Every structure is written in C-alpha cells, then in structure tokens.
Amino acid sequence: MATVTLFRMHHEQPSTDALLKIAKALGIKGEAKESPEGLALAGDAGVLAHAAPCTRLGGVLFYADPSASLAEPAKRPVAPEAAKKWADRFLESNGLLPKPTDDGRAAEIEITAALTEAVVFDGKERKRVPAKTDVTSAITLDGIPVIGPRAKVRMVFKDDDRPVFLHRGLWDALEPYEERELVRAHDAAAAVDGLLGNRKDCRDVGHSVGDVRLAYFAREFAGAPDLLAPYYFVDVEFKNVDGKAAGEVQGPRQTIWFPAYR
C-alpha cells in the first residue's frame, strides 16, 4: 500500500523591523500598520502587505506599484539574469525561504526568470515586443509538485531593477502531520467520473475524463490544522452546447480536485 505524508504548515508574522527591511529593498518608504489581518505599509512607490497566520491567505507577502501598468510594454525590460539574481538575493536575505522539517525534508524551489512579449499595433502592422520580465517558481516536496495561492513566488520587473509586483506565498516551516494511504490515480478518475454521472441536472451532458495530476495543494486557510495535503487534479471535457459529443469538437473544460489520501 502506497502512502503519502500530510504536512502542517506554520507561518510567522514578520516584525515591524523585518517588514521595513523588505520595504527598503522594494524602494518603499512609509509607516507600517498592524491589524489582526496582518501588517501593511503604503508609500509613494507602492503598497506592501503580509497576511497574518490563520487568515485566509496567511503567510502571503504581497507588493504592487499602482503607478506601473502590467499590461503596458516596458521600454527596456530588466534582463532575466538580473531579475533572477535580485529575486534570489531578496528571498535569502529577508529569510523568506522555508525551513526544512525536523527530519530533514525540504521543499525544492526553483526560481526562473524570462522575458514576456506583447503584441503592439502601430497603426500599420502588429509586432511582438519584449513587455516585461516575469519571475516564477516551481516547487516540489517529496518529488510531488506543490501548487496553490500559498505555494508560489511571482515577481514582475519592467524598466527598473526592482519589481513592480510581488507575490510570495510560502510557509515558514512544515511539520509532518499524518501518514495516509495514497489513493490511486485511476480510482480518483473513476470517482470523479461517477460523481459527474450522478448529477441530476447534468445527466444529459456528456463528459470525458482526461489527464490526472497529483500535487500538494497549498489552498486558502480554512481552519486549523493548516494542512498541506495532496490532491488529484482531474481534467474533464464536457459535451458542447450544440449537442456534439465530447471529443469531436473541443467543448467546455473543467479541472476538478479530489483528495489523494484516505
């Protein structure tokens, strides 16, 4: 019988001094304000906030510069190598990377940066131009991908060497919580297929089950214990509204998540 570990996530509220240090790195000046929801700081260069533990997005660090449009192409976007170097240094120097568990298990976090292009029209022709530099993350734990709003790092750079947008959703520490039986991917797909087939209001709508992917899901906080648990993400394609069977012409699609443990 295959098993999988459920982890308990721990988040820490940064001190006012720690938030001011982060704000300085982002070029923001202002006074930090504290509330039961977390810490926040607003200045001419943007707004910085950290969600307190046990709130809906507990542990998330968020920054945005309202004067910068993410849609408008930058004149000269920051080079991906420089953006990645800044991101790595920022996360490390501010203690924003998760600690390993007491038994030595640590999430693998790969930070990458790449130019994103946009299509512009000058009145005569459309052409693709470099628009911004996106920093993204790929996280794995025990060889399983980790996804969700509280398991990602994203930054957007434009012309400046500092980002104009930042979302850091990571735990500060993990604690092994339970060892549970791992549901087989085939059984998860069959369960989703059965649930859809039994819906009274959708019996005349055909569907087909596609890819099934296993991932730890750092979902929004829904009550203690705050668990990092594995789920299967099952792709489903539905019959088109014109009556054609699923698969003949691509119809509406939905991804359904199903617990991967019992």
**Which tens digits make up the pLDDT trace of 22-80?**
999 999 998 899 999 999 999 888 899 999 999 999 999 999 998 888 888 888 999 99
Residues 28 and 154 in one domain: yes
Q: Which residues pair with 30 in a beta bridge?
A: none
Nearest CA-CA partner of 236 in 223, 221, 249, 247:
247
Residues 161 and 191 in one domain: no
Residues 91 and 115 in one domain: yes
pTM, 2 dp:
0.85
Three-point CA angle 223, 226, 227, nearest 5°: 125
In a domain, 2, yes or no: no
What is the domain count for the chain? 2
d(CA 105, CA 175): 10
d(CA 112, CA 153): 10
**Residue 187 structural domain:** 181-259
Alpha carbon of residue 199 to chain centroid:
31
For 225-254, write each residue's pLDDT tens digit.
999 999 999 888 776 555 555 445 566 777
Nearest CA-CA partner of 208 in 170, 244, 169:
244
CB 139 within 8 A of CB 115: no
For 147-201, write each residue's pLDDT tens digit.
999 999 999 999 999 999 999 999 999 999 999 999 998 888 888 777 776 666 5
d(CA 217, CA 201): 29
